[in-house]
Each structure stands twice: as C-alpha cells, then as structure tokens.
Amino acid sequence: MTEEMNYGEDYKYIPVTSIMSGKGQEVRPDIYAFMVQVVNLCMVGEPNSSTGWTLIDAGMPKSADAIIKEAENRFGVNARPNGIVLTHGHFDHVGAIIELIEHWNVPVYAHELEIPYLTGVKSYPDADPTVEGGIVARMSPYFPNEPINLGDHVKPLTSDGSVPVLQDWNWIHTPGHSPGHVSFFRESDGALIAGDAFVTVKQESLFKVLVQNQEISGPPRYFTTDWKQAWHSVKKLKDLRPSVAITGHGLPMQDEALTENLTKLVNEFDEIAIPKHGRYVDGLEN
C-alpha cells in the first residue's frame, strides 16, 4: 500500500454474507450487478468492448481479488476500467478501493460532500444499533466508520450532473443515508443504480440478508442519519420512473414490480423505512 492511501484503523473483514455472494446478473447488456458478501457493485460497459467500462462502488473489505477476477471474466484478461465511481463512502462500498486503485491505476469520483470521508478528514457518524430490525442492526457498532484516505486519487463529480467516465448517465444527489450519497440514472432506458438511497432487502435482518428475499426497503437504518432527506431522495428517484433499479443491497428490481414497490415506499416511507426509535429518529417530525 502507498504511504498516501490508507484505510481507517477500524477497517476489517466483516463475517456476514448471503447465498448470492460471488454471483452476478446481467441486468442490461452493458450493466452487470455483482454481489460481494452482502453488497452489490456494478460494472457498466459492453463485455470486451473497446470503449471501456466503469466500476460503480468497490465492495467489502478484503474483496479486491474477487472483484478483479469477476472483471476479467466479463471484460477479458487484464481488464481495466476507465474509472471508479462511488455512490457514497461507507465501508461496504469502498472496502477494496485502495487495492483496486493500486492494481488498475484509475481515478475515483464521488460527490463533493463525500470527499472529507474519503480523504481522512472526517468520520461518519456512529452506527445506531438501537433501531429495530434484526441482528445486523445490533452488530452495526462493529462496522468500520473511520475515514479512509485516497489522497488526490479521488475527485469530485462535476456540478452539471454528468459523470466523466460514464457517457449518457447522470448523477443525482440523493442524501439522507450519507451527506453526499448519489444515484446514477440513464434516461434512454430508465436504468437506475440507486446505491443505498433505497434497497430491495431488509438489510437490518441477518436472515433476510442471508436468503435475499426481495422486499422494498428504505436505506439501511443503522447508518442513516437524516430521514427527512432520505424520504425526499426516494421521492426524487420515484419521479424518474425507472425501468430497473440496482440497489446497494438486495436483488435488482424492474418493470411493474419496481413501479409498484417504489410508489408504495414513497407513500408509506414513515411506516416501511423510518425506525420507530433511534438516535437519529427521536424528535423527528413526520
């Protein structure tokens, strides 16, 4: 590892997984969702295309070898992306990023409000194990939340909504789960990469994470600190009328099921998503 880049002192392997770990799904001919333990990342680009491909998010700690192997299976030996784009900087979305930067020597892009968490300046707020939902929520204080430091390898996304390495895609600011959380949308076919703005599994429940039963849910409760913003972000994404959504946790959802479930989530967000109690909920006005 270079002297410049480093993970937080609390970075470690987290022994939580699902039956879908190590499996991928081609959601569109140029969109491939790959699950690492309990989190999804996306590889965007035509297989073996000369125009290149882009990695969105960077998996769990200690997962670099699995990500590199899957990339080479899809794009060919020595496959190298044109860049890595982050929905946000929580540990399960940047867990292998330093090793990937070192292996591929590519730039990283994130929203400017996430940059402090990616350059060693600021830690995320502590996880909230008091929210109801299951064992994963109670385990959350053991999850890393200290900042990583990517130095000048990470650059802010441009303010015009375009993504430097993702042609035809726009980024949308969807805060709530984290200050600089973004989602990515392609208007031409309605493809949405939502990160943790909403998810399609009850992420707080260890059993539901293990079996990956599809269920619309808000952002993971234990790491979400602004529920008003989170609700507004889901409304924003629903108004895009996406045809398919790849979320940070859970299986891709599309077509009528996505429309119906996203509408339900928006209309019943206070019941489905917002915890009944918790350090970031108490005093919240509905």
In sequence order, what are the residues at sequence separation of 6 or more whose Cβ sits closer than 8 angstroms to the Cβ of residue 186? Answer: 168, 169, 170, 192
In the three-class reduction of DSSP (H, G, I as helix; E, B as strand; rest coil), residue 58 is classed as coil
Locate tokens 């928006």: which residue? 266
In a domain, 146, yes or no: yes
Per the structure, the complete domain to which residue 115 belongs is given by 24-272
In a domain, 137, yes or no: yes
What is the C-alpha separation between 204 and 135, in angstroms, rounded?
A: 7
pLDDT at 284: 59
User: What is the identity of the amino acid at 12?
Assistant: K
Locate tokens 């882009």: which residue? 54
**Tens-place pLDDT, residues 203-262:** 998 889 999 989 999 999 999 999 999 999 999 999 999 999 999 999 999 999 999 999
Exposure on the CB side of residue 174, measured as CA atoms within 13 A: 30
Rounded to two decimals, the pTM is 0.95
C-alpha 49 chain-centroid distance: 25
In a domain, 110, yes or no: yes
Domain count, the chain: 1
In a domain, 277, yes or no: no
In a domain, 62, yes or no: yes
Residue 243 near residue 254, CB atoms below 8 Å: yes
Q: Using the predicted structure, report yes or no on whether residue 62 has a pLDDT greater than 50.
A: yes
pLDDT at 56: 98
Write down the mean pLDDT value for the chain. 94
In a domain, 15, yes or no: no
In which band, very low, low, confident or very high, does the pLDDT at 17 lie, cut at 50, 70 and 90?
very high
**Tens-place pLDDT, residues 140-154:** 999 999 999 999 999
Exposure on the CB side of residue 181, measured as CA atoms within 13 A: 29
Closest to 256 in 3D by CA, of 236, 271, 241: 241
CATH value at residue 110: 3.60.15.10
The first and second tokens of residue 244, run together, are: 């398919």
In a domain, 176, yes or no: yes
In a domain, 80, yes or no: yes
Locate tokens 């031409």: which residue? 188
pLDDT at 133: 84
